[in-house]
Structures are given as C-alpha cells and as structure tokens.
Amino acid sequence: MNPNYEPGSADPTKQPGLAQKAGCAPGAVCTLTNADLVRLGYGGFPRATRNFKGYELTLSRSLRKRFWFNFSYLHSKTSGNYRGRYFVETEERDPNLTEAFDFPALVVNTDGLLPQDHTHQVKLYGNYRVTPSFDVGATVRYASGSPISATTDPTGGSTPFLGPIFLLKRGSAGRTPSLQNLDLSLSYDIRDTSKTKLSLFLDVFNVLNSQKAVHVDEQFLAAGVYKGAYYNPTQPGCSTDPASCFGYLQEGRGEPYDRYVDTKFGNADGKVTADEWNRWATSFNGKFGSVEELYAFLKHETVNVDLYGTRYDVPAYPGFIGCPDSLPGDAAGCPALNAGFGKSKQLEPPRSIRIGVRLAF
C-alpha cells in the first residue's frame, strides 16, 4: 500500500502499491492468490521445495580386539528453491526471517542445487589401542565442493527488491574447492575400575591446518544504476568503439541503464517503475546456462533510445564498456563485476587443540 498514491499521477513515488493495484481498500484485509499476482503481471510464487536424494555405503569392523574402524561413503544431491530457515546470500542470522518468497522476482532462477549440496562425502574413523590404557585415533573426511550461484547485490542494490536476483539457475556458477580434513586423538586411562573410568585426552582438529573456502561471495554484478545518457564523441575510445561514445549524468557500475529497463520492459515514459524492474528480473529466468553466456550478454546488450532528437544504440549495461571480451579470470578485471565474486567469505576453521580430563561412571 502506497500512502502517497495519487490516481492519474505520473510521479513514480505516487504510483499505486501492490495492494491498491489488486483493488484492496485502505484498512481492509485482502488475500492475493498466485492467480492475482499473475493477472497483475508479477508472476506467481512456486511451492517451497528442498529435496535430498542419496545413497550411503557403510562398513564397520573390529580387528584383533585392538583396532576398530568405520567407513562411510555418501553420494547425494540436494536441490530445490528454498535453502532453509537461514539465508546464506545475505548472511541472515535470524531463523525464518528471510527475504525468500517476499516478492515474485526473488524466486527467479532459485530452483537448482542448494548450498548444502555435496555430491561426494567420505568419512573414515579409526582407533587403535596401543596398550590396555593408551589409545590413538584418527578421523579422515572428504567432501566435494558446494554449488556457487551468480546474483545481484544481496541487499537489493539500486533495485526495489531488497534481496538478490539469481541471474543464472541456482548453483550453476561453479563449485567451491573440495575439502579434506584430518583429526587426531590421544587418550590415556589414569584409572579404570568396574564403576569409574578417568582419562586424559588430547584432540587435534584440522591437523594439516587446511584453509580452503567453504563459502564464497556470490554477488556477480556490482551495485549501481546508470542514468541520464548523452552522446559525446570526445569520450575516450569513441573513435574505435561506438559503445564508448556516451556519458552519463549518474555513473553506475554493473546494474543496467535506467532507460533500458524503462524501454524494454515498460512503456518508455522516462520513469522506471517497480513493475518494470520486476519484468527485468524475470527476463533472466532460465535464459543463460553459464556465467560466460551471462557475461557476453551483459557486455553486448544495447537499447535504442532517443537522445536529444537523435536515436542511438546505447549500452544496456554501460559498466561493461572497456571490460575484456570474455569473462576475466578475476572479477576485479571488470569494474561492472563485484570484485569479490567467487572469492572466499569463510574459510575452514584453523587447526585447534583440545586437552582435558574425561570421567565416565
């Protein structure tokens, strides 16, 4: 509901809110169905899904009364459009208070491999009794990397969504490195009777101190919309690249030129509305199969607009002017991209040691 709504006004700040477009009167309690959202041009909400499928092989055995081991291998797939109660894209810490399903545009391309998907997982536990009172144990773990997505700014950037738009099908922008981990343990029984057992123990976690990424930055586009394009033949590079012949009253970064959104996804009236942003977001649904295809589109897409009486093909994403022809190995090589894309936001916990006394009775 927009309290500043004025019927017939061309001011974007005075346009009707979603409830008003649906015919809901101020102060009334209204229910919108998916059919209503589709009728209004927003698209409907899919059902929230999170599916886990896998098979596991487990072997466990004791050998010669001194050695025990357990081995397991899990092959699995976790997919859907809902990660769970926490939202990794915005690092939301409060359970259930996420932006998932807040707006139809936020479900675009969300059905895919979820962050907790690890195709292969191997675990090996072993323990050897050196003497009747001294034990040595080890744990070896392996897990293939988790899927990476490519999104807009998780906080909404210059768009009205207050959440990330998935530019590719979720989980299709690569994977984090596979993880290998070794833990060791030592245990010495100080006292062992039929009723009590007192032991000293030493545990070393992540013995090799592996520091691989377990979570990376998935924001692909740098935030910032371009506004107010004008033709300027003195712009650097204009003589060799027509796309470089434009200046902008408001410089952005990776997000689109506002008249591209208004022209291709709206009525070209010079004002970008939330409806037009919604259509822009939904245009990415299922459109690209890789970050390379997405990058090529963003670099070469144009929009034909009238600039002071002359029509020009203006770059739809001006931030990509001057960027390499193909996706750079480091996102920092293109100012339209978020320089942190694909880089670590969280590493494995470092090596740690735990020493203690254990009493069992």
Structure tokens at 70: 């357990």
The whole domain housing 130 covers 50-217+343-360
User: Both 55 and 201 in a single domain?
Assistant: yes
pLDDT in tens, 119-145: 999 999 999 999 989 999 999 999 999
User: Both 280 and 311 in a single domain?
Assistant: yes
**Region 264-293 average pLDDT:** 91
Number of domains into which the chain is organized = 2
Interatomic CA distance for residues 87 and 210, integer angstroms: 26
Q: In angstroms, how far is the first alpha carbon of the chain from the final one?
A: 64
User: Both 185 and 250 in a single domain?
Assistant: no
pLDDT in tens, 143-160: 999 999 999 987 767 777
Give the pLDDT score at 92.
54
Give the pLDDT score at 86.
61
User: Both 65 and 144 in a single domain?
Assistant: yes
User: Both 286 and 189 in a single domain?
Assistant: no
Average pLDDT, the chain: 89
Interatomic CA distance for residues 338 and 111, integer angstroms: 23
Share of the chain above pLDDT 70, in %: 93
Structure tokens at 219: 């924001």
Q: How many other C-beta atoms lie within 10 A of the C-beta of residue 282?
A: 19
Residue from 48, 43, 35 nearest 100 by CA? 48
User: Both 90 and 123 in a single domain?
Assistant: yes
Task: Record the pTM.
Answer: 0.84
User: Both 165 and 86 in a single domain?
Assistant: yes
**Is residue 12 over pLDDT 80?**
no
Give the pLDDT score at 158.
72
**Is residue 337 over pLDDT 90?**
yes
Cα dihedral 312, 313, 318, 320 sign: negative
**Region 172-176 average pLDDT:** 95
pLDDT in tens, 78-111: 999 988 766 555 555 555 566 677 777 888 999 9
Q: How many other C-beta atoms lie within 10 A of the C-beta of residue 102?
A: 13
Interatomic CA distance for residues 351 and 310, integer angstroms: 64
Confirm if 198 and 357 have CB atoms less than 8 A apart: yes
Interatomic CA distance for residues 279 and 289, integer angstroms: 20
pLDDT in tens, 195-240: 888 999 999 999 999 999 999 999 999 999 999 999 999 998 898 8
Give the pLDDT score at 106.
85
Give the pLDDT score at 160.
72
